[in-house]
Amino acid sequence: MEHERPVDDYRWLWTVRPRRLGLGDLMFGVALAALGCFAMVLVFRSELGDGRRAAFGLVTLLLFAMQAAQWRLGGLPAYDSRSRRELLLGVASYLLAMVMFVLLLALAALFPDGAALVVLALIVVALYLSTWE
């Protein structure tokens, strides 16, 4: 008797549809643009110097880049929990989270109102990514 392969009959499991732009995607774009514009106006109208404004923008961009990297690291499957590769990925994820925390504290010390909007935008992005099909 030949070994049966029940998975071969289910090739549709491997086919993935391309993501379509929907109403929720557009609502996310509008919400993120509104939060970004509000943070930008808040920072520009503040009495911060040019150096602090540039630092605020740089730290904000770093936070969004780190969130994207953290999301990618969290999506990697762990096949062997005892391998060195998996351990290094876990340590990298932990260190990235701690650096994000320190940057958020620095942003809150630099400009608390802007930091609150950045945190809200980071939460909105995380909610959007968690609903990605």
What are the CA-CA distances from residue 125 to residues 12, 106, 132 (Å)?
Answer: 30, 21, 11
Integer Cα distance of 36 and 132 in angstroms: 21
Note down the domain range covering 77.
19-130
Is residue 6 situated within a structural domain?
no
pTM: 0.71
Judged against a pLDDT cut of 70, whether residue 15 lies above it is answered with no
Q: Identify which has the larger pLDDT, 44 or 14.
A: 44
Domain count, the chain: 1
Confidence of residue 2 (pLDDT cuts 50, 70, 90): low
26 token code pair: 């557009």
Q: Among candidates 104, 106, 113, which has minimal Cα distance to 45?
A: 113
Can you give the pLDDT at residue 99?
93
Is residue 79 situated within a structural domain?
yes
- What's the chain's length in residues? 133
29 token code pair: 């774009």
Is residue 5 situated within a structural domain?
no
Q: Among candidates 57, 69, 59, which has minimal Cα distance to 105?
A: 59
Is residue 2 situated within a structural domain?
no
Is residue 12 situated within a structural domain?
no
Q: How buried is residue 50: exposed, middle or buried, by Cβ count under 10 Å (0-12/13-18/19+)?
A: exposed
108 token code pair: 């809150």
Is residue 78 situated within a structural domain?
yes
Is residue 10 situated within a structural domain?
no
State pLDDT tens for residues 75-120: 777 777 778 888 888 888 889 999 999 999 988 888 887 888 888 8
5 token code pair: 């392969």
Is residue 72 situated within a structural domain?
yes
Instruction: Name the residue with tokens 């995380």.
Output: 126
